[in-house]
Amino acid sequence: MGYPITLQLRERRVLVVGGGPVAHRRVCRVLADGARVTVVAPSLVPELADLVSAGVLEWRSENYHRSHLTSGERIWLVHTATGLPVVDRAVAGDAETAGIWCVRADSGAHSAAWSPAVADGAPDTAAEGLQVAVTGDRDPRRARAVRDAILAGLRFGALPVRRRRRPAASDSEMPTGSVVLVGGGPGDPRLLTLRGWTALMDADVVVTDRLGPRSVLDHLPADVEVIDVGKAPGRHRVTQDGINALLVEHARAGKRVVRLKGGDPFVLGRGGEEALVCREHGIRVEVVPGVSSAVAVPAAAGIPVTHRGVTSSVVVLSGHEGADATTALTAAPSDATIVLLMGVATISATVAQVLAAGRAPDTSVAFVESGWTPQQRTTVTTLEKAVWVAEHEGVRAPAVVVIGDVVGLRDRLGDLVGPGA
């Protein structure tokens, strides 16, 4: 094994001997690092010729001679990839004599230096600015395999790559924070999207609701600040204005803030309000959609909200105190499925509105409590009996109420939650 080190090649001269595909790969890498590249080769593959035509490298159309190393401007690094062992060996020997590090493409065992397999963190992700270099005891295929596994971990947020130190800002600049509104889905952490997970792994502050996949908070780094603003029926620990102020305060302090919500932020989740507040204060904001409980919870109970031959329409209503669904119900098709969120406490008023809109008293109703959790329970009744059943069966929030003929499909489908929920 060797001594690992990173070279700063920007504006430094690098010599590449050889004009084939391997030389092209080496040229692209050092060009990306800002090096000034000279290629020595009698001929070039088209890709290298295009780079010469674009003026991004110098080409000497001749066979290698040791004077290429010693004459003119100082050379900091040499890559030799001619495909001819005798030439590569000569280049490496001359570089050794001149005190220049040389990478031989044909023989790692006889090379003074060698190139690792490199994985760069993608921009605008938690891994931005991170570079991982892997050497495999001069076995490039082994190194690339490990590099690819690390790269997958970077993409999927499986590695602890959150910045502990932010890039230094000038005295006149405030650090730039951001807010990501993450929809956590109905509660099962396995339904959190990949982008939602990576945003959480990169957060400095997480502002979380009562619902959603709270178990993911156990996997956050120990120095992440978690602020619980969960709202329970009749008990609002923090007002919406207070939540908005928290997002702005921490983002202005240069923090990466994640607002973790149950379901989808833009489906009765006030995500639009929070995004507008961030925009008004000049804060960069991103939304990460989540699996909405309006669709996912009925599905878990074997109730598709639309079904061919039954209905192609669905109306999602809020059951919050004071919400009036009369207009939406009147405008909706008579066979539309009605999905009621946050509606257990106001079920009596909602049932009255649905009946007034013309739905038959014997229309099927399902209460699905604690969807996508081990405590999931489904109670099926009819519209005319819904209030009585909810009271006598002890239906409790969180619950999704489904009204419509699609409820009848549950008899054939049953629960559709996979193992582990």
Q: How many CB atoms lie within 10 A of CB 336?
A: 21
2, 156, 164 from 152: Cα distances, Å? 26, 6, 21
Active site residue 209: yes
Report how far residue 44's alpha carbon sits from residue 313's, in angstroms, rounded to the nearest whole number.
62
Alpha carbons within 13 angstroms on the beta-carbon side of residue 235 total 7
Q: Which residues lie below 8 Å from residue 345, measured CB to CB, with a gap of 6+?
A: 233, 234, 319, 321, 397
Report how far residue 95's alpha carbon sits from residue 228's, in angstroms, rounded to the nearest whole number.
62
Active site residue 261: no
Q: Which residues lie below 8 Å from residue 231, measured CB to CB, with a gap of 6+?
A: 209, 210, 237
Q: Which of 231, 385, 405, 415 is catalytic?
A: 231
Q: Which of 106, 209, 261, 264 is catalytic?
A: 209
**Could you give the 3-state DSSP secondary structure of residue 124?**
coil
**Amino acid in the structure at residue 186:** P
The total number of residues written for the chain in this structure: 421
Report how far residue 26's alpha carbon sits from residue 85's, in angstroms, rounded to the nearest whole number.
17
**Amino acid in the structure at residue 299:** A
CA angle 86, 89, 92 (to 5 degrees): 150
Report how far residue 48's alpha carbon sits from residue 46's, in angstroms, rounded to the nearest whole number.
5
**Which pairing describes strands 77-80 and 314-318: parallel, antiparallel, or unpaired?**
unpaired
**Which pairing describes strands 101-104 and 77-80: parallel, antiparallel, or unpaired?**
parallel
Q: Contact at 8 Å (CB) between 366 and 407? A: yes
Give the residue numbers annotated as catalytic, written as ranges.
209, 231
